[in-house]
Structure 1
Amino acid sequence: MTELPHTKLSINVNKIATLRNSRGGNNPDLVQTALNCESFGAQGITVHPRPDERHIRYQDVFDLKAAIATEFNIEGNCQEEKFIQLVLANKPTQVTLVPDALGQITSNHGWDTIKNQEYLKDIVAVFQEAGIRVSLFVDPDPRMVEAAATTGTDRIELYTESYATNYLLNKELALTPYLQAAKVAQQASLGLNAGHDLDLHNLRYFAQNIPGLLEVSIGHALICDALYLGLEVTIQRYLDQLKS
């Protein structure tokens, strides 16, 4: 078992924007919520803008960039030219490239880094030349991790939906492909992030057992928990899962 006390928690604030947009106006205040997340201990803020702006608006990205002090991570589909320009205009700490389809409700698969290898090499270079750290969203498949390394990306983010789904059935088996992928990432000198459906039930086991885990990005579950526990208490509980 590997103890990883320094795994960073980046909070995805998409759901805060969804709630705000449902009534118009600025309640809840997205920027203030992000600042509160930071003051409560979050080490990063994540957004995933989509072309229809159904949650994060493009202006939100500019507003957050100007306000927050921790790491800023912008996720999205780099095959959309407007996304590329948004990221280059804001120069976040990290851009996480996700192969979303237009109108997709939420991300549900990683890149085929073999099929898209040449394209990914080119787009990774575009962001790196602007001084932005790049992470590729990938499934826990050693072949995809190996091919990701050839693109020049700084990190990968493991898509953890299958781990979360299978955790209650057999947590050891659920973790196995992620452990294999993480070991390949280490051998390839790739930084390692993870995200999607991680929560207070399954996060500790994942963080304790995945070597080299640098960052987790959590939004939906954390915001849902905050409805019952309050935002500050919830963030502290998630941070506690990453400490031991």
Structure 2
Amino acid sequence: MTAKRRRFVRDNGLTLAFGMAFLLALTGQAFAGHAEFNNELAADGLAPIGLAAYLASSEFAVDVTENWQSEYLQFFLFILGTVWLLQRGSPESKEIDEAGPESDKEQRVGQYARADSPHWARTRDWRQTVYSRSLGLLMGGLFLLSWFAQAVAGSAAYNEQRLRQLQRPMGWGEYVLGADFWSRSLQNWQSELLAVASMAIFSVYLRQRGSPESKPVGTPHGATGVES
């Protein structure tokens, strides 16, 4: 590996490591889900399908998208919530007297931008407004897209099950208002919200040496917004 490639891997190690872990987990889910789906088909007296057909099925799509939408919802709510909501002693929170979007000077935008600031941060028009909220907008948009994809794939998968049981299929609107869609959504939402709340409060009293998600080991419990 050349020095340039080693530097690229070092500089992007967090994204590359979690990206690879994601692909491995998705691959594992595909094989395990394929086996489970064929078990269900066999129980209904139907012929099994191949892996490629399963990957193109609504059953696989809904299993993937229902997890994606809950993750993006978690980040969207956390990004927006931490603008105004505080937790004394947590590195996940801003300092207690800093609630709100902060001043232009603190955010280094417009006339307070530096020479190396992003271009849209140096503007004084709609581009600065959009860029100032771009992370939240992206996470919110990805949540809505993946939630919509879950609704479409979930409706198709649910109707396939109903047809195998000789029941009438449901319309998309009927499915979205039904128990299956909301059960899939809410069981993921509650786990993500619990994880965020746990991280916020546990980081007040517990430490992980060397992690930016933790305060330095010797920092007092009451220190807020302090990272390693």
Q: Same fold (TM over 0.5)?
A: no
Q: Which has the higher strand share?
A: 1
Query: With structure 1 as the length reference, what TM-score do the two structures score?
Result: 0.22
Q: Which has the higher helix share?
A: 2
Q: Which has the larger radius of gyration?
A: 2
